[in-house]
Structure 1
């Protein structure tokens, strides 16, 4: 009895046919997800050489390798999320600011532990008679300074509130008023009293006598 020879398809031609079916301008997303991997594995099984089938151990090794890579990718994403959260909400670092002063934009100044009110601003153009007043809540001038002739540029100021005995006084929150010139970027030094945590991955909040301040709003720390 004559047995008709079996005819097997040429895997090389089939693969070539698959390649030819792809558009010339086909592009991928340079990533291999779980679905793509399973489709690739199924196609590999479909077009395997029947005289040299895929080794079971090799297939298991490929699956294990894919699972390992997928796990590492997920772990990296988790670590990235944690690092981002810690970077935005570093409460331990912010606590180190307690007892220090920060330079923040604003018109109100507060005395530091030595009783000094200080700040700075940008003088937009030269002035022949520049002066600075510090006013209390009722608008009364508590302290003032005559600076006279000043060139355009940055100007720093400070007021010592010590009494006749040399003891520092806390006169409360005082409003800064500059007379005799056009200014911008007024900022004052204020002490950090405490630190509050914020919601989710938001940065911590610095609590000062003039209100809450974000660390990113501080121009400098003293």
Structure 2
């Protein structure tokens, strides 16, 4: 049976419709697409030994293998294009969050544009003397509130920070401390300053004063 290599080895003879092989030091495109593969197989069939023709099953197997590889390559390209589109859509949607605040788990509170420090938590049991403190990096109490008797359940807090003229006052990052009760699921509202892309077409990243946050980590948006 005449093989593909046999065709190129005997290509110095100018058979009708057969292109002369390039010299060994020739350069060119080394890729083999589906059209090139089919032309090569057609040439092979055309010049095969009629007394020892190519086995039908072998030919079908070659076609199936090439089609499978080509299909995987095209699917990979399609998935990459879809991922790029989805990534752009996610970034476009996330940009709409700029200027808003998001509720994220944690005990660090920052002021919004109105100078408000706010958040919420779950009080696991009733208490008679609940209070909340906001502390600076030195551990000093900057603001506090006495809530007194509270039933078990969700509790929201909001501190209004103003200067002497009544203008919003940003006092930086403050730590939330809960006294007189057992609390869980503490979360604070933080403003979204900007949005940036992540690597490998991943989800966009929301940039906040307490650090970077993925949209999936936000409990609420306000």
Shorter-chain TM-score: what band?
0.5 to 0.7
What residue is the counterpart of 1:113 in the other structure? 113
What residue is the counterpart of 1:155 in the other structure? 155
What residue is the counterpart of 1:212 in the other structure? 212
Question: How large is the Cα RMSD of the aligned pairs?
Answer: 2.9
For 1:178 and 1:86, the matched residues in 2 are separated by 45
Determine helix, strand or coil for the equivalent of 2:117: strand
Q: TM-score under structure 1 normalisation?
A: 0.65
What residue is the counterpart of 2:165 in the other structure? 165
Residue from 56, 61, 67 that aligns with 1:42: 56
Alignment of 1:182-193 (within 5 A): 182-193=182-193
Aligned length: 165
| 1:74 CA displacement | 5.9
Instruction: Give CA-to-partner distance per residue, 1:38-84, whole Å, 9 cap, x none.
Output: 9xx935x9xxxxxxxxxxxxxxxxx9xx97x9978865554344334
Distance 1:164 1:217, change over 3 A: same
Which ranges of structure 2 fall in alignment gaps of 5 or more residues? 1-40, 42-54
For 1:83 and 1:181, the matched residues in 2 are separated by 50
Determine helix, strand or coil for the equivalent of 2:200: coil
Alignment of 1:46-125 (within 5 A): 75=74, 78-87=77-86, 90-125=90-125
Distance 1:215 1:86, change over 3 A: farther
For 2:119 and 2:213, the matched residues in 1 are separated by 16
For 2:142 and 2:118, the matched residues in 1 are separated by 14
For 2:192 and 2:172, the matched residues in 1 are separated by 15
For 1:109 and 1:155, the matched residues in 2 are separated by 15
For 1:207 and 1:125, the matched residues in 2 are separated by 35
Determine helix, strand or coil for the equivalent of 1:200: helix
For 1:104 and 1:85, the matched residues in 2 are separated by 27
For 1:124 and 1:95, the matched residues in 2 are separated by 36
Determine helix, strand or coil for the equivalent of 2:154: strand
